[in-house]
């Protein structure tokens, strides 16, 4: 069986590379290496392509009207503008959209668009397929790491959502995807090189134009990379805290055994440019009888003292055979009140897209482990 698969892949012709997802420098090199453009003109040509790809979002070389017909034809023979294939697109009753994207045969990630009230909305992107960490409340954590996403694959998630929602060119005033959150599958700080590179592309003012202050990277607490994230990307920081003492956090977020709360807090305090206008978001999943007491709400307030913060209370989203229940609504509200009274904004995150399994922590691609039909059956059982 293995031998048959190996032979099949050896015989398959290499796919035509897509320019969508490349940096300016990669575009320039691709043009030179393909022998399509002289070196001294390559920078200018790359700039033209950049505008068509990331400002206009074109998927056809023929749309590039300031590129000569001959060059367009030559580009067509060597490259594509394809995005990875969307294998499943689901729209929730609340407008949330979930895309299951095939990055390579058997390698899939999920991307979720969460429209907000008003005109803004957030796109939740994945940085890895699976995750090496095993937070006990998270569905992604039950999927072993398949691999890191490349920068191009992260950018492609944004382009796919824009294609679907119809938001090109980037100057479109009715844009709904106004914010990007790295809160999909995976731990972004374990893939920081690609994450940082993707942010350079997404935030570029001549391209997709989603500013760095509108991009939030969420981490479960990879302490040695937190300051580096700020220095390299200038994005907003979110921390998945979920507990206020080490024994409980060790259990919920096992990475805490390596980087305990005190070290995590020190790294957060050192995050560049923190201010009241630029706060850290603390995510706190509400688990019934586990971390939702008023004493814990008070401990949370004490822990965050002196850090410009907002607290995002996330009602636990169940998944098949998950070992927790969501706290009662009254309990969540009482918890929020303690935090609010201490002067912190503490919105309770309304669960979005639960019916299509797109809510926080529910993402998990099968990547060949279980058939899609089996997964959908399990999901229907939980969504009830």
Torsion of CA 291, 230, 204, 38, to 10 degrees: -130
Question: Exactly one of 57, 84, 115, 186 binds ligand SF4 (CB under 6 A); which one?
Answer: 186
Position 110 contacts ligand SF4 (CB under 6 A)? no
The residue range among 38-46, 74-82, 215-223, 274-282 that interacts with ligand SAH, by the rule CB under 6 A, is: 215-223
Asked if 20 contacts 152 with a C-beta cutoff of 8 angstroms, the reply is yes
User: Distance between CA 175 and CA 163 in Å, rounded?
Assistant: 12
Largest CA distance in the chain: 70
**Residues in contact with ligand SF4, total (CB under 6 A)?**
11
111 binds ligand SF4 (CB under 6 A): no
Q: Indicate whether 188 belongs to the interface with ligand SF4 (CB under 6 A).
A: no
Given candidates 50, 99, 271, 316, which one binds ligand SAH under the rule CB under 6 A?
316
Catalytic choice (110, 153, 167, 283): 110
Does 210 sit near ligand SAH (CB under 6 A)? Answer: no
Of residues 30 and 268, the one with the C-beta less far from ligand SF4: 268
363, 110 Cβ separation under 8 angstroms: yes
Select the residue interacting with ligand SAH from 50, 137, 344, 357 (CB under 6 A): 137
Q: Please, is 289 exposed, middle or buried when counting C-beta atoms within 10 Å of its C-beta (0-12, 13-18, 19+)?
A: exposed
The reply to whether 360 belongs to the active site is yes
CA 318: distance to chain centroid? Answer: 20
Least distance (Å) from ligand SF4 to the CB of residue 360? 9
Q: How far is the CB of 273 from ligand SAH (least distance, A)?
A: 20
> Do 37 and 72 touch, CB atoms closer than 8 A?
no
Closest distance of CB 80 from ligand SF4, Å: 31
Among 21, 115, 207, 361, binds ligand SAH (CB under 6 A): 361
Minimum separation from the CB atom of position 283 to ligand SAH (A): 4
Contact call for residue 187 and ligand SAH (CB under 6 A): yes
Where do runs of H (alpha helix) occur along the chain? 2-11, 24-33, 39-50, 69-78, 151-165, 192-203, 223-233, 246-252, 261-269, 294-303, 329-341, 372-383
CB of 252 to ligand SAH, least distance (A): 9
Query: Are residues 358 and 370 in contact, defined by beta-carbon separation less than 8 angstroms?
Result: no
| Residues 227-256 within binding reach of ligand SF4 (CB under 6 A) | 240
- Residue of 186, 203, 235, 216 whose CA lies nearest to 282: 216
Contacts of 161 (CB under 8 A, 6+ apart): 97, 99, 111, 113, 123, 177
Decide: is 223 part of the binding site for ligand SF4 (CB under 6 A): no
3-state secondary structure of 34: coil
Q: Please identify, using beta-carbon distances, which residue of 138 and 155 lies nearer to ligand SAH.
A: 138
**Residue 77: left if φ>0, alpha if ψ -120 to 50, beta else—which one?**
alpha
Nearest to 98 by CA among 164, 146, 54, 153: 164
Using rule CB under 6 A, residue 311 touches ligand SF4: no
The residues in 281-300 that bind ligand SAH, with binding defined as CB under 6 A, are 283, 285
Q: How far is the CB of 61 from ligand SF4 (least distance, A)?
A: 38
The contact set with ligand SF4 (CB under 6 A) reads: 131, 133-135, 138, 140-141, 186-187, 220, 240
Query: What residues are labeled active site?
Result: 110, 360
């Amino acid at each position: 069986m293995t031998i048959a698969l190996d032979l099949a892949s050896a015989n398959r012709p290499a796919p035509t590379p897509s320019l969508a997802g490349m940096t300016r420098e990669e575009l320039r090199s691709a043009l030179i290496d393909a022998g399509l453009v002289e070196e001294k003109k390559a920078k200018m040509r790359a700039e033209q392509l950049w505008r068509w790809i990331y400002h206009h979002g074109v998927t056809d070389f023929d749309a590039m009207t300031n590129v000569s017909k001959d060059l367009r034809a030559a580009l067509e023979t060597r490259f594509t503008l394809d995005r990875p294939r969307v294998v499943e697109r689901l729209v929730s009753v609340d407008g949330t959209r979930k895309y299951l994207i095939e990055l390579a045969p058997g390698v899939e990630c999920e991307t979720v668009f969460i429209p907000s009230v008003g005109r803004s909305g957030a796109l939740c992107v994945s940085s890895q397929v699976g995750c090496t960490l095993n937070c006990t409340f998270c569905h992604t954590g039950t999927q072993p790491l398949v691999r890191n996403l490349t920068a191009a694959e992260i950018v492609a998630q944004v382009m796919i959502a824009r294609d679907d929602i119809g938001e090109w060119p980037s100057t479109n005033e009715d844009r709904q995807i106004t914010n990007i959150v790295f809160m999909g599958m995976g731990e972004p700080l374990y893939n920081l090189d690609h994450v940082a590179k993707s942010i350079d592309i997404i935030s570029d003012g001549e391209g997709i134009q989603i500013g760095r202050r509108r991009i939030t990277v969420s981490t479960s607490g990879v302490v040695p990379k937190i300051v580096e994230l700020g220095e390299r990307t200038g994005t907003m920081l979110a921390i998945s805290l979920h507990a206020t003492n080490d024994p409980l956090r060790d259990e919920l977020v096992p990475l805490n055994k390596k980087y305990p709360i005190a070290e995590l807090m020190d790294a957060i305090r050192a995050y560049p440019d923190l201010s009241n206008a630029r706060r850290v978001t603390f995510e706190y999943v509400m688990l019934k009888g586990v971390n939702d007491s008023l004493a814990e709400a008070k401990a949370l307030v004490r822990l965050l003292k002196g850090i410009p913060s907002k607290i995002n209370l996330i009602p636990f989203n169940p998944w098949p055979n998950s070992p927790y229940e969501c706290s009662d609504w009254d309990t969540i509200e009482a918890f929020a009140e303690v935090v609010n009274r201490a002067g912190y904004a503490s919105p309770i995150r309304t669960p979005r897209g639960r019916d299509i399994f797109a809510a926080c922590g529910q993402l998990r691609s099968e990547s060949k482990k279980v058939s899609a039909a089996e997964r959908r059956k399990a999901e229907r059982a939980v969504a009830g």
